[in-house]
Structure 1
Amino acid sequence: MEQNENKSMEENQIDTTNTEEESYDADLTKPAQPPMKNTRKSNSKRSGLFSGMIGGIISAGIVTVLFTSNVIPIDTNEDSSNSLSVQEERDPGIVTTMSVDNEEITSSNIEEVSEAVVGVINLKRQSIWTTSEEAGAGSGIIYKKEDGKAYIVTNQHVVDGAEEVEIVLSNDERLPAKVLGSDELSDLAILEVDGGKINKVANLGSSSDIKIGETVLAIGNPLGMEFANSLTKGIVSGLNRSVSVDTNSDGVADWITEVIQTDAAINPGNSGGALVDAEGNVIGINSMKVARQEVEGIGFAIPIDSALPIMEQLETDGEVSRPFIGISTASLNQVPPQYRSNIELPEEVEEAMVIADVEQGSPADQAGLKQFDVITKINGENVTSILELRKYMYSETAVGDTVMLEIYRDGEKHDIELTLTDRETI
């Protein structure tokens, strides 16, 4: 700053010098003037001195008036530049933008759906001598009220192992809840409560209509009921994300779930809460987040369109009916070395799934499948893991369908036909 100011002063000085030189050169072109008398010089000096004194008095008077009237403020601060910085920092320059941004969200609808999001308390007894105590807490959504009952959807892992379940309404009132059914693969559970004190029911939207970049809100109870009905805002970061899930905690993924990705904060306790659009329609059920130190803002919700058929089955039947084969398998590279000699395959087969066990009386048993048979295809679709086999079966087939498996046994290819059943029919 000082360099710029010094440069400017130097430029001004140069300009002034040039002007004086031009004036001097111009005087050289004028004819010479006769010498002036001494009396005239003396009078001129006295006149100049008198004029200077009058001018100085007038200038001093003007400056005094300006200071006393505060037109020129007297600065008592030693560093006036700091005062200017503080003033600029206090300028609320983003208030208008935030106000406009929030106008897209319908506050009345958000308030209604917030009242329909409840706390879900998992209660367990530590011993037969004690009463039930809170073992965990999550969130749930009241999605239906009918015939004096209200129905709540939450995550299966929220109520897993509970001996008793309670819900906590937005006014902090607690109601006992009954678990009608739960499903481990979809991570969904349905609760039933007395509907007499339920006043708000969430409006279910459609997850098929949402777009990446659309504003969404996550509503739930992060870290338990202390922060009940918290609301976080974000966008839809991704659609149809495939996330591998280990449902039996054996360290191996045994299911793939399709989810909505969002950067709206989803914390422990938000599970089972609502992911809603700007109009307050539920488009997803908050389920999980990526919890790694190097990751920020990656949360997932079960799309409401995928959840609804499962919710209906859990509400009416208490479980989800899925087609069943009756085998346990391992990928080729997971087979222990001592058993690899039992497997013969042509060189072109590099990926497949090896049958480790066949359940007695199952469709696989009835179709003649055996241990160490290698499955490569189902209905012409390549399968290399139990994950891919389940995904195909649960999305493309139903109980009672007949499927064709391509297998290798003792190095030879066979086509095995079997009829899918429900596990309960065994």
Structure 2
Amino acid sequence: MLDEENKQSRKHYKRSGLAYGVLGAIIAVFFITTVFQWKGISINFNTSKPTAQADELKLGETQEAVTQAVNETAQTVVGVSNIKEGPRGLQKAGTGSGVIYKKDGNQAYIVTNHHVVENASQLEVILSDGTKVEAELKGSDPLTDLAVLQIDSEHVEEVAELGSAEDVEVGQTAIAIGNPLGMEFAGSVTKGIVSGLNRNIPVDINGDRQPDWQTEVIQTDAAINPGNSGGALVNLQGEVIGINSMKIAKEKVEGIGFAIPMDVAKPVIKDLENHGSVERPYMGVSLQDVSQVPGSILERKLNLPSAVKQGVIVAGVAQGTPAADANLQKYDVITKIDDKKVTSLMSLRHYLYTEAKAGEQVELTVYRNGEPMKVSLELSSQ
């Protein structure tokens, strides 16, 4: 634990951390067709948010502050081994990183990425001193790519201080701590800047190489390599401002990595720790984008007016669900929810998961056999 002198030193850095801030930000609209190393998704990525190109900190202060931040956080960053059942028994299938964020009695809790622990038969955590301990998966969430593990707290001395995305600025120093290439380079530290905020990255949940969700991330040029996933993105005060998640892996692209902001991660972590999953509003339907269906079928099969070019088609209704209770039917086309346009399945999910809550009533605008109608539906949780 930090002694009193270190605590006072840390307060000093919080007061004097960024001396001059960002000299400038270059605003660019860029369009990249890329491949994400995390999921192998090939998809257009479009953004017009500003990207910082320089960080004007005093050299002496930067070096001292970085060292202090690393010293405060490094012991809380661990390795995570995904062990799966194979033809020759249990074998290591992959490795990543994690961050110890809580110690409670005999238990300690670690946040990592969903893709680090996905489909594991067993999980093993390697602490900063090399100690290996068995881990239990408390919960995992594919949409945000977050997971929470539980271990015995016997060997845990320090926990990370989780920061807030509200205090993060483009151009400030960002430090990535993790285990690139497995445990071969355990505890590696790379430094860069926060290159962009409020980026939205498409996520493929079902493996059809189509985006099912867009997760909010921080962009950084601090090197994030295989094995860094689930590690800490840290500011100069030693606070974890993001959980490293992915990077753009493309021959002509360098220095574009992403971390999940702590303001996004904190409520998910809490749900996973306490409930094992994230509760989200649920309708009980399977859906397909109107844009993915040929116009001739829309007109002939659904009798959909030619002017309706966006929305989602109800492909099926599960029994005993809010959709069934509301009498939604197969081939209904949903074009609005609470007067918000539904342009795609992703836009509908975004409204449900960010604007609506379980137990609330929503009003859907639906085309049935070509005729518009209103349907009232009470959301449940899933």
State the TM-score, normalizing by the size of structure 1: 0.74
Which of 144, 150, 157 is equivalent to 1:192?
150
In 1, distance between residues paired with 2:201 and 2:59? 36
In the other structure, the counterpart of 1:108 is: 68
Contact 1:104–1:278 under 8 Å retained in 2: no
Which of 297, 321, 326 is equivalent to 1:362?
321
In the other structure, the counterpart of 2:238 is: 280
Residue 416 (str. 1) matches residue 346 (str. 2): no
Match of 1:292, SS state, is coil
Question: What displacement does 1:131 show?
Answer: 4.2
Bigger mean CA deviation after superposition, 105-114 or 240-249: 105-114
Which of 206, 211, 218 is equivalent to 1:248?
206
In the other structure, the counterpart of 2:360 is: 401
Residue 333 (str. 1) matches residue 330 (str. 2): no
In the other structure, the counterpart of 1:352 is: 311
Code of the aligned partner of 1:137: T
Question: What displacement does 1:352 show?
Answer: 1.6
In 1, distance between residues paired with 2:122 and 2:112? 15
Contact 2:79–2:97 under 8 Å retained in 1: yes
Question: What displacement does 1:408 show?
Answer: 0.9
Structure 1 runs (4+) deviating above 6 angstroms are: none
Question: What displacement does 1:331 show?
Answer: 1.8
In the other structure, the counterpart of 1:147 is: 105
In 2, distance between residues paired with 1:295 and 1:254? 25
In the other structure, the counterpart of 2:301 is: 342
In 2, distance between residues paired with 1:333 and 1:305? 33
Contact 1:314–1:320 under 8 Å retained in 2: yes
Q: Residues 336 and 328 (structure 1 numbering): CA distance in 2 closer, same or farther, change over 3 Å?
A: farther
Code of the aligned partner of 1:206: S
Match of 1:333, SS state, is helix
Match of 1:227, SS state, is coil
Q: CA RMSD in A?
A: 1.6
Contact 2:291–2:309 under 8 Å retained in 1: no
Which of 58, 73, 83 is equivalent to 1:123?
83
Q: What residue ranges of structure 2 are gaps of 5+ in the alignment?
A: 1-56
Q: Number of paired residues?
A: 325
In 2, distance between residues paired with 1:122 and 1:366? 42
State the TM-score, normalizing by the size of structure 2: 0.82
Structure ranking higher on relative contact order (CA contacts 8 Å, 6+ apart)? 2
Code of the aligned partner of 1:407: V
Which of 386, 390, 409 is equivalent to 2:349?
390
Contact 2:311–2:345 under 8 Å retained in 1: no
Contact 1:401–1:419 under 8 Å retained in 2: yes
Residue 235 (str. 1) matches residue 235 (str. 2): no
Question: What displacement does 1:357 show?
Answer: 1.6
In the other structure, the counterpart of 2:15 is: none
In the other structure, the counterpart of 2:36 is: none
Bigger mean CA deviation after superposition, 413-422 or 352-361: 352-361
Q: Residues 106 and 231 (structure 1 numbering): CA distance in 2 closer, same or farther, change over 3 Å?
A: closer
Question: What displacement does 1:108 show?
Answer: 2.8
Deviations 1:259-280 (A, max 9, x none): 1111111111111000010111
Residue 182 (str. 1) matches residue 140 (str. 2): yes
Q: Residues 380 and 174 (structure 1 numbering): CA distance in 2 closer, same or farther, change over 3 Å?
A: same
Contact 2:302–2:369 under 8 Å retained in 1: yes
Question: What displacement does 1:338 show?
Answer: 7.5
Of Structure 1 and Structure 2, the greater strand share is in: 2
Which of 220, 227, 237 is equivalent to 2:178?
220
In the other structure, the counterpart of 1:380 is: 339
Between structure 1 and structure 2, the one with the greater Rg is 1
Deviations 1:314-337 (A, max 9, x none): 111111111101112222231257
Contact 1:110–1:279 under 8 Å retained in 2: no
Match of 1:102, SS state, is helix
Which of 230, 253, 257 is equivalent to 2:215?
257
Q: What residue ranges of structure 1 are gaps of 5+ in the alignment?
A: 1-96
